[in-house]
Amino acid sequence: MAKIKKVRFKLNTFEYIKPFHIANNIAYDTKNIEVIIELENGIQGFGEASPSFRVNGERIEALMALEEVVEEMIMEMDVREYRRIFEKIDSLKSASSIKAAVQYAVLDAFGEEVGVPVYQILGGAKKEIETDYTISIGSIEERVKDVREILARGHRIIKIKVGENLEEDIQGMIAIHEVSKGCKYIVDANTGYTPKQAIKFVKEVYRAGIDISVFEQPVDMNDIEGLKYVRWKSPFPVAADESARTKYDVFRLIKEEAVDYINIKLMKSGISDALAIVEMARTANLRLIIGCMGESSLGINQSVHFALGTGAFDFHDLDSLLMLKEEKFRGKYKVEGPVYKV
Amino acid sequence: MAKIKKVRFKLNTFEYIKPFHIANNIAYDTKNIEVIIELENGIQGFGEASPSFRVNGERIEALMALEEVVEEMIMEMDVREYRRIFEKIDSLKSASSIKAAVQYAVLDAFGEEVGVPVYQILGGAKKEIETDYTISIGSIEERVKDVREILARGHRIIKIKVGENLEEDIQGMIAIHEVSKGCKYIVDANTGYTPKQAIKFVKEVYRAGIDISVFEQPVDMNDIEGLKYVRWKSPFPVAADESARTKYDVFRLIKEEAVDYINIKLMKSGISDALAIVEMARTANLRLIIGCMGESSLGINQSVHFALGTGAFDFHDLDSLLMLKEEKFRGKYKVEGPVYKV
């Protein structure tokens, strides 16, 4: 028996090494909630919630207040029955980052209890993955400078934030490409474009001879028709991120044939919906990216084990860890430049 | 490390206690293949293939000849990386029962290796399930006699085979209902009706005041339009069985809104596709039955652990074990009348 005896939430603030600038948003720090689950035998499981008000509508104050609610929900439940606990926690529809952290902490405690790392419980499909690194929105000179820096650190997959100024974004892409030939690009507009702006962007970039591996969330999160419009007109694969929070969102996107890629973030969907999205997307021949919010090493640990276990992802956008000031590395994996491995 | 060193196939024949009569088919025995996977440390994992020529087009002779092919495919692979092995074995598209047995044997060996029962690896959602019992096609007197027998043995969920003679089937339903009020009925036509016959059947049964929990595979396996026709006209939920072999079949059925239920059988889909079907069906709000071919206790063990682990099924049609003459019970679960438990 491995029953849950205690659930604790702990607020941790992490500063960004430099401000993180995406379409219509600049972050200087991130406030995350560490979730600790304690079993009757003293074993502890750890998770981390990195909430997003912009994407999920989550507020840290409201989430912190859920500590007792969660404890009451899963008290006395056995982590060896993790799907029963997942189902209980699925009811936290307005606290998806907490859902993710609690569900992962349960898996972590189960893994410790039985002596099997979480990535093996989930299938052990891979032993290492490579993360991209994100270039914030900035002047063209700043973007190029940032790209040179990450190339020097060994990154070869570059995520480029766009969506505030179409002309600058196009010129920025061309300038970045000049100094990073051979790299792969994921371009993310974070809902910043209209459908027609998005098409102008990809056409100009295509004309400049640049290949984009994935074009992420070009338009408003609720504009599924717009997403579909871009998908069918774009020469590059189009991904849903903000539009794809739950498994039900993804089911609708698949039915509508609206995208080529889904960006799964545990903070949007938890472990339970993420597992469903993996299976649905693969069956429907969509491809997958795994992304993050502002997780520290503890939160990125969750996505690393999920990605290694399922082996489901073409691209791993798990770089928040590399962008935050953090005193102590807490992941159950190793970081070697852009590579995360067990 | 828990590497695979040997794969063995063993042919086992089991006689039915009494001939098993479904639409256009009578079986007197079943030929199953026991799959044994041996690890370098001596640990063994067991699976069982119970092939169906009628449903899967599988022939026992061809399957037995795959022993070396399978061994070569997964030799030296580590059962702790079970999703990698699943993916390899997914290529056995014309040997789905072997795929199921090998994938389960891998999970079984992994479970033995780490000391965790398979149902817990899969999520531990339930501790017990209740199986139905199947009434073969026969004269009305025979059907009623069989029903009385299984009621005496504690069964309360009755699976009724129909599909050879519409008038007899309707009269049979009414006669069975007379002696089994309060029971739940799953009615299975095994592709035996035309769409219009199927509608006549449900309307007459409905008019007689009988409730059917699930009406399974009324029409030809390739007649998806027919299935949809029955689904939209039937007062009772309609299930796909023969029409739903792989996850791709189920994806199409969902897109077409053709059914209310899916009958998952590991022998049709293996563990990998079964996991995908569970996630897709739940997301699309379809409901699930788990069924069997002619598995002995060893093969039913696979479906019991899958059902307990995922907790995904409304109905468990896992009665072949109870219908076969078998010398030694080999399941890692207990049988108490209609209840299977860990």
In terms of domains, do A133 and A89 share one? no
In terms of domains, do A71 and A156 share one? no
Task: Tell me, yes or no, if A245 comes closer than 8 A to chain B by beta carbon.
Answer: no
Cβ A122 vs Cβ A311: under 8 Å: no
In terms of domains, do B75 and B160 share one? no
pLDDT by 10s per residue, chain A, length 342 = 799 999 999 999 999 999 999 988 899 999 999 999 999 999 999 999 999 999 999 999 999 999 999 999 999 999 999 999 999 999 999 999 999 999 999 999 999 999 999 999 999 999 999 999 999 999 999 999 999 999 999 999 999 999 999 999 999 999 999 999 999 999 999 999 999 999 999 999 999 999 999 999 999 999 999 999 999 999 999 999 999 999 999 999 999 999 999 999 999 999 999 999 999 999 999 999 999 999 999 999 999 999 999 999 999 999 999 999 999 999 999 999 999 999
What is the H or E stretch that residue B9 is in? strand B4-22
Task: Tell me, yes or no, if B272 comes closer than 8 A to chain A by beta carbon.
Answer: no
Burial of B71 (0-12, 13-18, 19+ CB in 10 A): middle
* Interface residue of B81, B127, B253 to substitute, partner A, most A CBs within 10 Å: B81
**Segment B235-258 mean pLDDT:** 97
Amino acid of residue B284: A
Cβ B310 vs Cβ B123: under 8 Å: yes
The 3-state DSSP class for residue B98 equals helix
What is the H or E stretch that residue A216 is in? strand A214-216
Amino acid of residue B163: G
Residues in chain B closer than 8 A to A309 (CB atoms): 83
Which of B81, B125, B276 is the closest to A83 by Cβ?
B125
| DSSP H helices in B9-95 | 53-56, 60-64, 67-74, 82-89
Q: Which residues pair with B287 in a beta bridge?
A: B261
Residues in chain A closer than 8 A to B125 (CB atoms): 81, 83-84, 87
Q: Which of B266, B255, B256 is nearest to B289 (CA)?
A: B266
Residues in chain B closer than 8 A to A247 (CB atoms): 279, 283
| CB crowding B228-263: b at 16 or more within 10 Å, else e | bbbbeebebbbbbbbbbbbbebbbbbbeeebbbbbb
In terms of domains, do A60 and A168 share one? no
Task: Tell me, yes or no, if B80 comes closer than 8 A to chain A by beta carbon.
Answer: yes
Cβ B202 vs Cβ B229: under 8 Å: no
**Segment B44-51 mean pLDDT:** 98
The nearest CA of chain A is from the CA of B196 a distance in Å of 29
In terms of domains, do A55 and A90 share one? yes
Tell me which residue has tokens 């209209």: A194
Q: Are strands B44-49 and B128-130 parallel, antiparallel or unpaired?
A: unpaired
Phi, psi of A159 (to 5 degrees): -100, 130
Cβ contact, residue pair B123, A82, below 8 Å = yes
Q: What is the DSSP letter of A265?
A: -
Q: Which residues pair with B264 in a beta bridge?
A: B290
pLDDT at res. A23: 87
A273 vs A281: CA distance, rounded Å: 12
Closest-CA residue of B relative to A116 is: B114
Domain termination site, one of B68, B94, B116: B116
pLDDT at res. A194: 98
In terms of domains, do B248 and B108 share one? no
Cβ contact, residue pair B124, A86, below 8 Å = no
Tell me which residue has tokens 């694969």: A237
pLDDT at res. B86: 98
Burial of A60 (0-12, 13-18, 19+ CB in 10 A): middle
Residues in chain A closer than 8 A to B81 (CB atoms): 120, 123-125
Cβ B242 vs Cβ B57: under 8 Å: no
Domain termination site, one of A115, A133, A168: A115
Task: Tell me, yes or no, if B77 comes closer than 8 A to chain A by beta carbon.
Answer: no
Spacing of C-alpha B113 from chain mean position: 27
Task: Tell me, yes or no, if B86 comes closer than 8 A to chain A by beta carbon.
Answer: yes
| CB crowding A74-85: b at 16 or more within 10 Å, else e | beebbbbbbbbb
In terms of domains, do B237 and B296 share one? yes
Of A99, A159, A161, A247, the catalytic one is: A161
Phi, psi of A134 (to 5 degrees): -95, 135
The nearest CA of chain B is from the CA of A325 a distance in Å of 34
Cβ contact, residue pair A83, B276, below 8 Å = no
Tell me which residue has tokens 């129909």: B162
Cβ contact, residue pair B123, A276, below 8 Å = no
Cβ contact, residue pair A124, B81, below 8 Å = yes
B179 vs B186: CA distance, rounded Å: 16
In terms of domains, do B183 and B125 share one? yes
Task: Tell me, yes or no, if B296 comes closer than 8 A to chain A by beta carbon.
Answer: no
Residues in chain B closer than 8 A to A272 (CB atoms): none
Q: For position A330, which CATH number holds? A: 3.20.20.120
In terms of domains, do B249 and B160 share one? yes
In this predicted model, what pLDDT tens digit does every residue of B289-328 receive, in sequence order? 999 999 999 999 999 999 999 999 999 999 999 999 999 9
B49 vs B31: CA distance, rounded Å: 9
Q: For position B76, which CATH number holds? A: 3.30.390.10
In terms of domains, do A224 and A277 share one? yes
- The token pair that represents B189 in the structure block: 């036509």
A121 vs B278: CA distance, rounded Å: 18
Domain termination site, one of A63, A90, A115: A115
Task: Give the domain range for residue B46.
Answer: 4-116
Query: Does residue B24 have a pLDDT over 90?
Result: no
In terms of domains, do B220 and B254 share one? yes
Enter the pTM of the model.
0.95
**Segment B189-212 mean pLDDT:** 98
Q: Which residues pair with B216 in a beta bridge?
A: B188, B239
Query: Does residue B1 have a pLDDT over 80?
Result: no
Residues in chain B closer than 8 A to A103 (CB atoms): none
Cβ contact, residue pair A116, B114, below 8 Å = yes
Cβ A302 vs Cβ A48: under 8 Å: yes
In terms of domains, do A105 and A139 share one? no
pLDDT at res. B23: 87
Total domain count, chain B: 2
